[in-house]
Structure 1
Amino acid sequence: MTKTGNAAGKFDAGRAAEYAVQSRIALAGYDACHELAACLLAADLGPGRPARILVAGAGGTAREIVSAARLERLWHFTAVDPSAPMLELAMAAVGEAGLTARTAPVLGEVAALPEEPIYDAATLIGVLHHLPGEAAKQSVLDALAKRLKPKAPLILAGNRHAYESRPLFLSAWGERWRMHGATAAEIEAKLGKIRQGADPPASDQEVGGLLTQAGFEEPTLFFSSLFWGGWITHRRG
């Protein structure tokens, strides 16, 4: 991953410990998005074929890896994350799923990997909106493109739109927290933390622009849940 400033620091041991629960509340359809991502990659690469998958920002639940491994026994994964607590959680989930031998953990950034186009596919899920500014977002996408084979698919998913630009969505987000037992004060604290701690792309068009500038094809949206979007694209050949 590119230099992220305080992005990795946000995911300390305390934040990492609550991630698996909190992420599923914040994103309605968390598991469905990851499962669809795995299905799209399998359909794109062809079922039953060996592949090397680069999982950027793998920390936390390692849901990208666990979901994909359910479909494809010949896939091997490189799990990259700049947060040690988050990567430890991911590798614990990988171990519970019996996938340790198929998963290589890398503590650090995508840019620190050898700059060779050796990966058959990549995922970047729940990462881009944590990177402050366009330059940081562009840098991680550039780093991914350099390590993918021509025409290799990339799954990108994360929040888009300035939160204040969608007040109804923001209110619905709060209602989802209330649905899961949060008090009014807790909801306000959560929404305040979200407003201060993320910098999502302003639109689907901006996501597309970042990807095309990095050398990817125009993305196709396959999943949407309030602010969250999921896209598949391919490195240009």
Structure 2
Amino acid sequence: MSSEHLDSARKFDVSRAGEYAEQSRIALAGYDACHELVACMLAASLGSGREARILVVGAGGTAQEILTAAALEPLWRFTAVDPSAPMLELAQASLQAQGLLARTRVFLGTVEELTDEPPYDAATLIGVLHHLPGDQAKHDILKAIATRLKPGAPLIVAGNHQAYASQPLLLAAWGERWRQQGASADAVRAKLGKILQGADPPHSEAAVQHLLQEAGFGTATRFFSSLFWGAWVASRSAV
């Protein structure tokens, strides 16, 4: 496992994993809507009612992308990958509660560590890129996903983009979002300080496009946006 992946995985320890489901829905206004649209975009890309194998990278925590997609498409099967054991355990519990473990392979590690197997029909990478420091780590994970997809297969990428400090109004609104949900003024200041120090998002939508194209994907289409967050779909190049 690379040092970048190890550092990112360590952030999601037992304490952070335990609060992830609640915190993520506050941090991302439209959390459930984004995941619903992810499932819809995959179904629109693959065709509804067909069997498909979906690679879910960074599935730990809620496993929401699997829960939502599985409800829409009962013939899909999933491989859930995450380097954080506490986060993956939470995902596995959610999948078990919904009766989805029979349709899901759970893999502790990185996508680069997946053994050779038939290429996947589609993949998702949600809430991961902005936790990887530097462009090289971002490129490496996207490239690793590309090599495990069929030519033309769709990839959903979702996460924060834009340097946080470069958008003070969005950052202030993000703080107000926490206050709206009951956080104290001190707690909001602490969260703003943490986000400024704890992540490295791509600095623009153009940077996301560039990373995808360098990794072997075509032009991405954005289908969801919420403050710093964006979600895109792109297809693996045919060659």
State the TM-score bracket (shorter-chain normalisation): over 0.9
What TM-score comes out, normalization by structure 2 length? 0.97
Partner of 2:234: 233
Q: Is this contact kept in 1: 2:6–2:83, CA < 8 A?
A: no
- Partners of 2:135 and 2:118 lie apart in 1 by 24
Shift of 1:5: 3.9
Q: What's the % identity of the aligned pairs?
A: 66
Alignment length (residue pairs):
237
| 2:190 aligned residue | 189
Contact kept, 8 Å, 1:116 with 1:146, in 2: the verdict is no
The answer to whether 1:172 aligns with 2:173 is yes
TM-score by length of 1: 0.98
CA distance in 2, matches of 1:140, 1:117: 18
Matched, 1:53 2:54: yes
Give the CA deviation at 1:96: 1.1
Distance in 2 (CA, whole Å) between partners of 1:18 and 1:116 is: 34
Q: What is the rounded CA distance, in whole Å, between the counterparts of 1:78 and 1:11 in structure 2?
A: 20
Deviation at 1:61, TM superposition (A): 0.4
CA contact under 8 A between 1:153 and 1:233: conserved in structure 2?
Answer: yes
Q: 1:118 and 1:206 mapped to 2: Cα distance?
A: 27
1:156 match: 157
Question: What residue number does 2:100 align with?
Answer: 99
- The equivalent residue for 1:86 is 87
**Aligned partners of 1:4 and 1:132 also within 8 Å:** no
Deviation at 1:136, TM superposition (A): 0.4
Q: How far apart are the structure 1 equivalents of 2:98 and 2:29?
A: 23
SS at match of 1:59: coil
- Give the secondary-structure state (helix, strand or coil) at the position aligned to 1:4: helix
Alpha-carbon deviations, 1:39-85, whole Å to 9, x = none?
01011101110000000000000000000001111100000000000
1:220 matched residue in structure 2? 221
Q: Deviation digits for residues 185-204 of structure 1, max 9, x if unmatched?
A: 00011111111110000000
Q: Which runs of 5+ in 2 are unaligned?
A: none
